[in-house]
Amino acid sequence: MSRKLTPFILLLLLAMLLAACGGTTDEPETTDTTDTAVDTTDTEEAMDEEMTEEEMAQMVEVFSWWTGGGEAAGLEAMIGVFAEKYPDIEFQNAAVAGGAGTNARAVLATRLQAGDAPDSWQGHAGQELIGTYVAADQLEPVNFLFEENGWLDVMPETLIPLISQDGNIYSVPVNIHRANVLWYNPTVLSENGVDVPTSLAEWFTAMDALQAAGMDAPLAMGEQWTAMHLFETVALASLGPDAYEALWDGSGDWGSAEVTAALNDFAKVLTYVNSDASALTWQDASQLVVNGDAAFNVMGDWAEGYFREIGFEPNTGYGWAPVPGTNGNFQFLSDSFVLPKGAPHRDAAIAWLTVAGSIEGQDAFNPVKGSIPARSDADRGLYGEYLLSAMDDWASDRVVGSLTHGVVANDAFKSEIDTALGLFLADGNIEGLQSALVAACSTSGPCQ
């Protein structure tokens, strides 16, 4: 949302006055910039036409997909820090709604193709960054920011290689999210005498018991990307971390009997899912759990930000555990912000990145967003019970990367997997899914 529209509003008022006096103007009509999913195009055109170069330098357009409960609030908290530190730079929130960036990334791709890059955008550490944006030569290295701000001393060693190529660092990580979280409704479990499952077998038994007690769909799921999210966590449970990681570095065999077993586990998990999944957002699916309409949901820990945002309390409203069978593993992803080549307002973009990497920015954003800070020097006192447990697990668990959220596969490979998954969700053909995955790895993955 625009924080400081004064010069722009004055210009618009002037334009409206001229129009009212019969003068002609090419100005677009006033754009409502208070919406969460803001289309800033008209606003920008007006600004580009009317603002002086000096005024233009005083804005920054930041692109993300954080428009919903918890996510938008976290972003707003960081924008608050930015506004305090850089009161003269107008913040343009170019967030596009849609979980996991499915819509936003399509809009971003179109803009990048048209040479209309925002000043900074949200990208995931890992292959999404390196195998997609860096591969397309769209980013400037930001080593200078790491050096000036001493970030190499406070950012996790695990993360630096995932945002670097040939000694160049290409983004500023703002958080660490955990993907393999099982959210559950404590009341539903205790009323049905069901313990929190710790293995896939226990999970199936628990869901059988809940179905026998009349809950048809004990596991809540949403639209297709949430099925991919579920798939990667079940694959980790079924394969274990070594074989899971081998799928992404070319040393594993997508056609193996172990992968067949993992796909069978995934197919079985899907038998417990609500039939209207494709019509639900991740928030809708998570909400089924806190409302008591489902017992379980597998979702990243942004769900915790959402639960708190809609008024639920940890332990009473919702409980959490590693996805059954993944205990001791932290399947992670990291949101980071980039500096595009040719950023329209490069200095302002650097100001934004400086806040995104700062302790103040991260400690304002993460407690609300439901993520732990990328920096290791956070003030633990600001974080709730779930996030403190995530911090401890991040420090002690085996860390593996997420597929759905950009760590282990670049866009081309991930998109082929997504297509295969979409077909499987429609036809349930496990053999077909496995051969499509084998083919995807050869065409665009590490088996090439």
- Which of 82, 159, 177, 372 binds ligand GAL (CB under 6 A)? It is 177
Provide, rounded to whole angstroms, the least separation between the CB of residue 323 and ligand GAL.
16
Told to check if 123 binds ligand GAL by CB under 6 A, we report no
- Which of 46, 61, 75, 99 binds ligand GAL (CB under 6 A)? It is 99
Provide, rounded to whole angstroms, the least separation between the CB of residue 400 and ligand GAL.
16
Contact region with ligand GAL (CB under 6 A), list: 33-41, 96-104, 158-166, 411-419: 96-104
Provide, rounded to whole angstroms, the least separation between the CB of residue 204 and ligand GAL.
27
Provide, rounded to whole angstroms, the least separation between the CB of residue 66 and ligand GAL.
6
Phi, psi (deg, nearest 5) at residue 90:
-75, 130
| Residue with smaller CB distance to ligand GAL, 302 or 307 | 302
Q: In the window 333-362, what residues touch ligand GAL (CB under 6 A)?
A: 333, 335
Q: Strands 59-63 and 120-124: what pairing?
A: parallel
- Number of residues in the chain: 448
B/e letters for 192-214, b = 16+ CB within 10 Å, e = fewer, are: bebebbeebeebbebbebbeeee
Which candidate, 53, 319, 307, 281, places its Cα nearest to that of 195? 319
* Alpha-carbon span 420 to 217, nearest angstrom: 24
Told to check if 418 binds ligand GAL by CB under 6 A, we report no
- Which of 302, 306, 307, 413 binds ligand GAL (CB under 6 A)? It is 302
Told to check if 101 binds ligand GAL by CB under 6 A, we report yes
Provide, rounded to whole angstroms, the least separation between the CB of residue 13 and ligand GAL.
36
Q: In the window 259-288, what residues touch ligand GAL (CB under 6 A)?
A: none
Provide, rounded to whole angstroms, the least separation between the CB of residue 178 and ligand GAL.
11
User: ∠300-37-48 over CA atoms, to 5°?
Assistant: 130
Which amino acid is located at 24 in the chain? T
B/e letters for 162-191, b = 16+ CB within 10 Å, e = fewer, are: bbbeeeebbbbbbbbbbbbbbbbbeebbee
Which candidate, 351, 395, 402, 401, places its Cα nearest to that of 373? 395
Told to check if 71 binds ligand GAL by CB under 6 A, we report yes
Residue with the closest Cβ to ligand GAL?
99
Name 425's Cβ contacts closer than 8 Å, sequence gap at least 6.
Answer: 224, 227, 270, 278
The tally of CA atoms less than 13 A away on the side-chain side of residue 144 is: 5
Contact region with ligand GAL (CB under 6 A), list: 4-12, 93-101, 113-121, 429-437: 93-101
- Which of 11, 89, 100, 174 binds ligand GAL (CB under 6 A)? It is 100
* Alpha-carbon span 266 to 437, nearest angstrom: 14
- Which of 345, 375, 405, 414 binds ligand GAL (CB under 6 A)? It is 405
For ligand GAL, how many residues bind (rule: CB under 6 A)? 13
Told to check if 82 binds ligand GAL by CB under 6 A, we report no
* Alpha-carbon span 238 to 260, nearest angstrom: 10
Told to check if 163 binds ligand GAL by CB under 6 A, we report no
Provide, rounded to whole angstroms, the least separation between the CB of residue 243 and ligand GAL.
24
Told to check if 105 binds ligand GAL by CB under 6 A, we report no
Name 115's Cβ contacts closer than 8 Å, sequence gap at least 6.
Answer: 342
| Residue with smaller CB distance to ligand GAL, 370 or 446 | 370
Provide, rounded to whole angstroms, the least separation between the CB of residue 275 and ligand GAL.
23
| Residue with smaller CB distance to ligand GAL, 38 or 333 | 333
Per the CB < 8 A criterion, the answer to whether 184 and 324 are in contact is no
Task: For tokens 């806040």, name the residue.
Answer: 355
* Alpha-carbon span 362 to 368, nearest angstrom: 10
Contact region with ligand GAL (CB under 6 A), list: 99-107, 249-257, 387-395, 411-419: 99-107
Angle between helices 224-239 and 411-427 (to 10 degrees): 100
Q: Across 193-295, where does the E strand assignment appear? A: 219-220
Contact region with ligand GAL (CB under 6 A), list: 98-106, 107-115, 215-223, 428-436: 98-106
Which candidate, 98, 107, 190, 156, places its Cα nearest to that of 399? 156
Sign of CA dihedral 383, 385, 390, 396: positive
| Residue with smaller CB distance to ligand GAL, 177 or 308 | 177
Told to check if 390 binds ligand GAL by CB under 6 A, we report no
The tally of CA atoms less than 13 A away on the side-chain side of residue 239 is: 26
Binding-site ranges for ligand GAL (CB under 6 A): 65-66, 71, 99-101, 124, 177, 300, 302, 333, 335, 405
